[in-house]
Structure 1
Amino acid sequence: MYHDSFTLSFFTANDPMDNAIPSLHIGLPVGLLIINRLHCRELGVKVKEWRHREFDIFIIVNILIYIFSIQYLGIHWIVDIIPGIGLAFITSYFVHQIQPKLRSENFSKINFILPNKKQLYSIVGVSFISTFLIFFIVIDGPGTSDDEPNYRLGLEDVNLETIEVHSLSNPVNVEVINVGEESVQLLLIKTSIAEKHAEKGIFDWEALSSKGELFSLSPKENTSFSVTTESIYDSYIILSKLKNPDSCSEFSDCEIMKNSVGEIRIITHYFDDELIWSAYIVSLPSFYIVGYVLGMSDKEIMSIKTS
């Protein structure tokens, strides 16, 4: 997807395609479908007889397209989609319960959000579990080990890592570890330059190698460097590939070369990495919402009282 001049420019500038769990590409439209059905159920009409049925069908078709496209393009995986659907149920029920109360002039805007005893227990449980997952699984879990590769390279592969612009005054510190058994090459280059040499799924490595900073890593070797950007449009990427092997003399040697797989781990340290605590604090309302909904009874979910 990145190996094309237009898409390389568009996606690195607008969406670096490093979306994570849960998938809001699926969560948002699925949430809208659920709200539609809750609304129809409240009105006592069937979805098939709803006057906005065409809009509902349009959303369904788009969801099917999204499910295929985001996995085909590598934006999300199935493990991102399932939690996205779960998030859609949580937020839809919360909105269906709270939104009419917010619009009501006769409803107390102080007490409507306060949880009952069951919801309070649920909120505490969700907060505890989420905190544990964030700090012991997501941040320092097994997948974060320096010995685990986050890129694998075949013989003709050229992989790409986007260095995002977080600050114009603080550099991004990058560490690359060759955790595999094959030698690899890395190329640090400006995105604007790489765009000119990417077409139809192929990077012109020979043309690019003289226009950026080239690194070679033997097995188990590592390197570190810093990247400073001068403007928000001055982005960089890291291209990686297997180091060109010597020509093979026998058929068996050629087969071994074709089956070679390089494994590297690229770690980017942004200046705001320590802001994890502020990110955690900002997440607290979401813990509250999840616990609030999980603590609701079915009757509470389906009944709306605005006065």
Structure 2
Amino acid sequence: MLAPKFMLNPYWVMMGIILILTPITCWVFTLGKKEERTPLNKIGKLIHANRYYFHLLGYVAIIWWKAVTDYLNEPIKIDTGHWTDTVYSIEGDLTLWIQQAFENEFLTAILNFHYLFIYLFLIYITTVYYAYVGERDLTDKVTLNYLLIYAVAVPYYLFFNVEVTSSWIPGMKALLYHDGWYTGFYASRDPLDNAVPSLHIAIPFGMLLLNWLHFHAKGQRVRDWKHWPYHLFIVANTVLFAFTILYLGIHWFIDIPLGMAIGAIGALFIHHIHPRLRNDHGKMFRGVTRKKVFRHVLIEGIVALILLSLILGMINVQKASIDERVSFQLGPGDSTFEIIQPLDHNQGFSSEIFNLDEGRNLEIIVIQLEGSISAMQSGEINWTDLSESAGGATTIAPGDSVTIELEDSMVWHLIVMHNPQTNDDGILKVKILNDYNQDLMVFAILLALPSLWMTSFVIHRLVRLKANNMSLIESQPSHSWNNGKEAE
């Protein structure tokens, strides 16, 4: 009997492996520390006593949150545009040099697996491992880390779109996205314009920072922790992620420090609110007064409004430059694609594709995602096979454009572009304007508000700690500050 089709995609295969490896991982990292292990017959009591069932709800919430973010991303992109040209003007071809210097099939296969598997591994097993060894607070924190760091990143993904390097740098191979088995999975789950910041950096960096904050707030060192080897395991994989995301044609160099910044905001927010969530210093709302609430709303509201104004300003800049906007760059013989997400019933969709070059033809095809997978192998698109399976390509003359319309609901499509010239070094520039017949900007802004508030909260919190001559990593609620101006 064949397994259901959805069970054969990379996500479920990886999750199946992770499920098998979970008890093995917990056992390996507690070798010589048997007293740290939770007996199997007490796991149920542990889950109930520490309310770990809420952690599962957190993982469900992030799946929903990401789905909503991705749903909003494409329809608003006609207004939000992207900032890839700005990033490219700073970095140039640095990531291309990394890829060309190290590229080989074995390394590509290993890093493709690492990119998805270890990312999921760290997200899920870290929570289980910390719970298994009795680290209740860290279990809470790494679970919140996944949920809230993604929430912090939402406005960057919605309003600061940056294409992946393989969609912009001529000659850069999409070693992850154009690779058979992975193609269908990523094309239906990754808009390919969420390059900044990198959550493959932000989330593990957030874990590391939370570990550091947790122990330093107690006057202890992380390296003295019994589970220091697991901490080093996260460090090693975070470093490898930094190389992987550059090599595979996904992220830019700037995504690494920006990912660390997002991870730091999330980690600081979690570190400072956790004592209230666990009631370690009295009831959750102890010390909360009208005066304090008003001050928080006023100051953090002002900071959030400033951040929102910056977002709206960025949108206006993109709207004003829509005529000069370039969506993709294709080097000689290059191919890439634009993803068209499934449509609602009777929604309708149109896309205008412009060949911005003055002397080169552009070839395009529109094809359902499933029909394209066999032509994508080893980081490249087999244009001949793909165009034949699509019944031929449409040629767009220099300076010309074509409009395509789709009505198929619940089907993923690709607009695949190809530069047929192979005997010159020129770059063919393409502009694509997609109209999903939906006005979702208000919903996108609402989805970004939690991020703006969390960022504002962290800024306000650090300022208050500084004003009260306290350590910036002090996590006690303000009502318990003994010598501070805000103590009761």
Please give the TM-score of this superposition, normalised by the length of structure 2. Answer: 0.54
2:205 is equivalent to residue 30 of structure 1:
yes
Distance 2:378 2:258 in 1: 34
Deviations 1:121-151 (A, max 9, x none): 6524432332222222146438952323221
Cα distance, 1:218–1:97 mapped onto 2, change above 3 Å:
same
Cα deviation, residue 277, structure 1: 0.9
Higher mean C-alpha displacement, 163-172 vs 145-154: 163-172
2:361 is equivalent to residue 183 of structure 1:
yes
Q: 2:427 aligns with which of 255, 261, 276?
A: 261
Describe the SS at the equivalent of 1:263: strand
Cα distance, 1:37–1:145 mapped onto 2, change above 3 Å:
same
Distance 1:76 1:68 in 2: 10
- CA-atom RMSD, angstroms? 2.8
Unaligned residue ranges in structure 1 (runs of 5+)? 246-256
Asked whether the equivalents of residues 120 and 291 of structure 1 are also in contact (C-alpha less than 8 Å), the reply is no
Distance 2:285 2:293 in 1: 16
Describe the SS at the equivalent of 1:216: strand
Count of residues in Structure 1 that have an aligned counterpart in Structure 2:
293
Cα distance, 1:218–1:15 mapped onto 2, change above 3 Å:
same
Distance 2:352 2:320 in 1: 16
Unaligned residue ranges in structure 2 (runs of 5+)? 1-174, 481-488
2:285 is equivalent to residue 109 of structure 1:
yes
Asked whether the equivalents of residues 118 and 295 of structure 1 are also in contact (C-alpha less than 8 Å), the reply is no
Distance 1:16 1:45 in 2: 42
Q: 1:133 aligns with which of 310, 333, 351?
A: 310
Cα distance, 1:48–1:207 mapped onto 2, change above 3 Å:
closer
Distance 1:277 1:19 in 2: 20
Residue number in structure 1 paired with 2:398: 219
Cα distance, 1:203–1:37 mapped onto 2, change above 3 Å:
closer
Q: 1:6 aligns with which of 166, 170, 181?
A: 181
Deviations 1:47-77 (A, max 9, x none): 1111121121111111111112122223322
Higher mean C-alpha displacement, 67-76 vs 90-99: 67-76
Asked whether the equivalents of residues 171 and 270 of structure 1 are also in contact (C-alpha less than 8 Å), the reply is yes
Cα deviation, residue 269, structure 1: 2.3
Deviations 1:180-199 (A, max 9, x none): 22221111112222212233
Q: 1:302 aligns with which of 443, 466, 474?
A: 474
- Give the 5 Å matches for 1:67-86: 67-86=242-261
Cα distance, 1:267–1:68 mapped onto 2, change above 3 Å:
farther
Q: Which amino acid aligns with 1:67?
A: A
Cα distance, 1:290–1:3 mapped onto 2, change above 3 Å:
closer
Deviations 1:84-103 (A, max 9, x none): 22222222122111111122
Describe the SS at the equivalent of 2:231: helix
Distance 1:69 1:16 in 2: 19
Cα distance, 1:277–1:73 mapped onto 2, change above 3 Å:
same
Asked whether the equivalents of residues 353 and 433 of structure 2 are also in contact (C-alpha less than 8 Å), the reply is yes
Asked whether the equivalents of residues 119 and 293 of structure 1 are also in contact (C-alpha less than 8 Å), the reply is no
2:328 is equivalent to residue 151 of structure 1:
yes
More strand by share: 1
Q: Which amino acid aligns with 2:314?
A: I
Describe the SS at the equivalent of 1:83: helix
Cα distance, 1:125–1:68 mapped onto 2, change above 3 Å:
farther
Q: Which amino acid aligns with 1:126?
A: V
2:373 is equivalent to residue 195 of structure 1:
yes
Asked whether the equivalents of residues 177 and 264 of structure 1 are also in contact (C-alpha less than 8 Å), the reply is yes
Distance 1:168 1:230 in 2: 6
Asked whether the equivalents of residues 155 and 259 of structure 1 are also in contact (C-alpha less than 8 Å), the reply is yes
Describe the SS at the equivalent of 1:136: helix
Distance 2:229 2:403 in 1: 55
Q: Which amino acid aligns with 2:476?
A: I
Cα deviation, residue 15, structure 1: 3.0
Cα distance, 1:195–1:46 mapped onto 2, change above 3 Å:
same
Higher mean C-alpha displacement, 1-10 vs 257-266: 1-10
2:194 is equivalent to residue 19 of structure 1:
yes
Distance 1:167 1:113 in 2: 47
Distance 1:243 1:294 in 2: 51
Cα deviation, residue 201, structure 1: 3.8
Please give the TM-score of this superposition, normalised by the length of structure 1. Answer: 0.83
Deviations 1:17-36 (A, max 9, x none): 33243322211111111111
Deviations 1:34-53 (A, max 9, x none): 11111111222111111121
Cα distance, 1:191–1:80 mapped onto 2, change above 3 Å:
same
Distance 2:342 2:473 in 1: 43
More helix by share: 2
Cα distance, 1:198–1:287 mapped onto 2, change above 3 Å:
closer
Q: 2:337 aligns with which of 123, 145, 160?
A: 160
Distance 1:41 1:136 in 2: 40
Cα deviation, residue 120, structure 1: 5.4
Deviations 1:188-243 (A, max 9, x none): 11222221223334433233324326322122211111223343xx3211111124
Distance 1:48 1:287 in 2: 34
Describe the SS at the equivalent of 2:324: coil
